[in-house]
């Protein structure tokens, strides 16, 4: 069943274009950091550059959404369930294969991030130290965020089977809802929300850094969201009619 999922992925172009956007964001983000005056002699700036890997998780989220909602959009879900009437196993296969691709995407983004950061540091006369400033923790957290958001995406796509609505809901949540909720509820409760948790995990520190959870706690919270979305995907998919 996992092989069938990979054949689905391998035979169309759109998911790969989407995944390619992740490393491009990493390149653009790191370049922007340097162009806006980032100090290459500061180890903290090095970590901030590498933290763009966590931002690339936006694309594994959209990729995961396409895994399920895209099948409903094109009507291929009918054939998928005719082949495998055990729908729980279908969703499990999607979670596994898309989680794996999310990990691969995170790895590519990490390699790209190291390469681009090293290149800028060399160009600006700094010295890039792979071990300094928690580099590995930043990259590992970013990679984990890519996996978690691919899984969350599969869940969102199963819950909101309309592809356009699912993508819109996910983008609106990230761009608007968490920010507004954070202002209403204050930073204490807001740091438990999924995107804030992923910032802690990927050490992105876009928001006021002091209000985020510690990295390990962000990772646990995000893993909890991923598990909850995975479970919700299975439960709703078992229950709903496919018309």
Binding site for other proteins (CB under 8 A): 1, 3-4, 7-8, 10-14, 70, 74-76, 78-86, 241-243
Closest distance of CB 161 from other proteins, Å? 14
Closest distance of CB 159 from other proteins, Å? 19
Which residue, 74 or 129, has its beta carbon nearer to other proteins? 74
Closest distance of CB 170 from other proteins, Å? 21
**Any idea what DSSP says for residue 240?**
S
Sort 13 into a burial class: Cβ within 10 Å, 0-12 / 13-18 / 19+. Answer: exposed
Which residue, 70 or 106, has its beta carbon nearer to other proteins? 70
Count of CB atoms within 10 A of residue 88's CB? 13
Which residue, 49 or 234, has its beta carbon nearer to other proteins? 234
Give the span between the Cα atoms of 41 and 125, in whole angstroms. Answer: 9
Q: At what angle do helices 87-123 and 76-83 cross, to 10 degrees?
A: 120
Closest distance of CB 19 from other proteins, Å? 15
Sort 240 into a burial class: Cβ within 10 Å, 0-12 / 13-18 / 19+. Answer: exposed
Closest distance of CB 18 from other proteins, Å? 13
**Any idea what DSSP says for residue 177?**
I
Give the span between the Cα atoms of 109 and 49, in whole angstroms. Answer: 12
In this structure, what token pair is assigned to residue 201? 């995990």
Which residue, 26 or 158, has its beta carbon nearer to other proteins? 158
Which residue, 161 or 191, has its beta carbon nearer to other proteins? 161
């Amino acid at each position: 069943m996992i092989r069938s999922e990979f054949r689905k992925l391998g035979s169309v172009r759109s998911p790969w274009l989407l995944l390619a956007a992740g490393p491009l964001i990493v390149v653009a983000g790191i370049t922007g950091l340097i162009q806006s005056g980032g100090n290459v002699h500061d180890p903290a700036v090095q970590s901030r550059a590498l933290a763009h890997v966590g931002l690339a998780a936006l694309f594994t989220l959209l990729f995961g959404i396409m895994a399920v909602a895209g099948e409903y959009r094109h009507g291929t879900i009918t054939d998928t369930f005719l082949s495998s009437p055990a729908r729980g196993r279908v969703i499990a296969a999607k979670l596994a294969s898309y989680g794996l691709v999310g990990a691969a995407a995170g790895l590519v983004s990490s390699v790209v991030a190291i390469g681009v950061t090293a290149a800028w540091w060399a160009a600006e006369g700094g010295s890039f130290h792979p071990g300094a400033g928690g580099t590995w923790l930043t990259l590992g957290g970013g990679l984990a965020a890519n996996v978690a958001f691919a899984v969350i995406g599969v869940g969102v796509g199963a819950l909101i089977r309309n592809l356009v609505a699912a993508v819109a809901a996910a983008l609106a949540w990230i761009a608007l809802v968490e920010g507004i909720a954070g202002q209403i509820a204050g930073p204490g409760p807001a740091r438990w929300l999924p995107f804030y948790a992923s910032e802690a995990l990927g050490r992105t520190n876009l928001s006021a850094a002091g209000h985020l959870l510690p990295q390990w706690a962000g990772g646990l919270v995000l893993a909890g969201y991923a598990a909850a979305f995975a479970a919700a995907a299975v439960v709703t998919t078992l229950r709903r009619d496919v018309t």
